[in-house]
Amino acid sequence: MNEIEAAVGFGNIDIYSEILRKRRQNLTYIIGKFKKYKPLLVRIDEGLNERIGPHAFPVIIQENNNFSRDDQVLYLGKKGIDSRSIFLSMPTQCPGFKFLGYSLGNFLMRNI
């Protein structure tokens, strides 16, 4: 964190609870609207005694769809919704690790 980010954060400390409440309200709204897209798009749901941080809305695009992640990003962008890949399977999907020679499927969990 740099000094500017720290100053902005510190300046909002008195209203942090309100910011968090509004973010949770938005998250709850989106979760409700999102249910109609199962099973094509899946999201992580809150479990018992869990609270999802309302700072992002993770979505998993299931296999065997007629659209890709790039298609989804383009669609959302046209609707004014910002999106980005945050967590990729590093050795197989992140271009920075291509030199390692791994491919999709190399790290699948298998029953032992």
Terminal alpha carbon distance of the chain: 43
Structure tokens at 44: 């992580």
For residue 41, give the H/E element and its range.
strand 41-42
pLDDT at res. 34: 83
Chain segment 15-64, per-residue pLDDT in tens: 988 988 998 898 889 888 888 888 888 887 778 888 777 777 888 888 88
In this structure, of 19-23, 74-78, 105-109, the range with the lowest mean pLDDT score is 105-109
pLDDT at res. 108: 64
Residue with tokens 């941080």: 53
Name residues whose C-beta falls within 8 Å of residue 17's C-beta, 6 or more positions apart in sequence. none
H-assigned helices in 35-94: 69-78, 90-93
Structure tokens at 15: 């209203």
User: Structure pTM?
Assistant: 0.59
